[in-house]
Amino acid sequence: MGSAASAAVPPPPPPAQPQAGVPPYGPGLAGILPPKPEGEVKEEKKVDYLNLPCPVPFEEIQREALMSLKPELFEGFRFDFTKGLNQKFSLSHSVLMSSLEVPSQSTDTIKVPTAHYEFGANFLDPKLMLIGRGTDYRTQFQIGNNAFYGANYIQSVTPNLSMGSEIFWLGQQRKSGVGFASRYNTDKMVSLAADFMYNHMSRDVTSSFGYDYLLRQCRLRGKIDSNGVVAAYLEERLNMGVNFILSGELDHPKKNYKFGFGLTVGE
């Protein structure tokens, strides 16, 4: 016969008190990340719109956009050699083994193999320029050969954004044009470009988007346009003045595909 008396059940332990500085829901990221130094307060940098930086020249924006939107695409094999004699004069040799597109009534593209050699003597075309520069803007007037007249203006809008416009007239060809451009840059990149072109005579509208990415030993450029054409151009630096190049262009609507490789040698 056992004893009817039973031992008293001990009371439950009191709940643990949270440590000082630890949130009641657990340490979370506060227990993982290092504590912030005392007195560190992130202040937003105020923009002084009366003291904006001077933008890059309008021609520099055109050059950056041209590198992205108009890569030197080709088909087949290409070898280029360029020798500069001075700052204004250089000689060039070019060999291209490619194919020639022959017009046909069908939708398929007919190509005929071809090869040619080119020799060129390049002379820097002088232009008379009148340049005006302020603290946050640039303006330029140009007079060149073939009765060329042009003017452009670019203005900084924010510390990272500048916008401008240009107008030109080609007297011998009796052509004129108006262009607009904007440039957004950061401390690490200026590598994307887009354009929009409208031909008033033919009512044609085209737009394209391009990129220019610099790596340690190579440069990759490419674009895609509103016609469905995708292109890429790669330059791999093998040695000082020697580059290996790859080119590819895919025109899906016309079923026209172009691929090429080659070498460029020169300064």
pLDDT tens string, the chain, 267 residues long: the values are: 444 444 555 566 655 555 555 454 444 444 555 555 555 555 667 888 888 999 999 989 989 898 889 988 999 999 999 988 887 888 999 999 998 888 777 767 788 889 989 998 887 766 677 788 888 999 999 888 888 999 999 999 999 999 999 999 998 888 888 989 999 988 777 688 988 888 878 888 889 999 998 888 899 999 999 999 999 999 999 998 899 999 999 998 888 899 999 999 986
Q: Edge to edge, what strands does the sheet with 256-266 contain?
A: 110-123, 89-102, 76-84, 256-266, 242-251, 229-239, 218-225, 205-214, 192-198
CB contact burial 85-105 (16+ within 10 A = b; e otherwise): eeeeebeeebebebeeeeeee
- Give me the pLDDT at residue 16, please: 55
- Give me the pLDDT at residue 74, please: 93
- Give me the pLDDT at residue 3, please: 47
- Give me the pLDDT at residue 259, please: 95
10 Å CB burial of residue 15 (0-12, 13-18, 19+) is exposed
Task: Give DSSP secondary structure letters for 101-170.
Answer: EE--SSSSPEEEEEEEEEEEEEE----EEEEEE-SSEEEEEEEETTTEEEEEEEEESSSSEEEEEEEEEE
Mode of pairing for the β-strands spanning 76-84 and 256-266: parallel
CB 161 within 8 A of CB 184: yes
Tell me the C-alpha to C-alpha distance, in Å, between residue 70 and each of 55, 108, 124, 144: 23, 25, 21, 23
Question: Ramachandran region of residue 266, left (φ > 0), alpha (ψ -120 to 50) or beta?
Answer: left
User: How far apart are the C-alpha atoms of 214 and 43, rounded to whole Å?
Assistant: 33
- Give me the pLDDT at residue 50, please: 85
Give me the residue label for tokens 């007919």.
Answer: 110
- Give me the pLDDT at residue 174, please: 86
Q: Which two tokens stand for residue 182?
A: 């904007």
- Give me the pLDDT at residue 190, please: 64
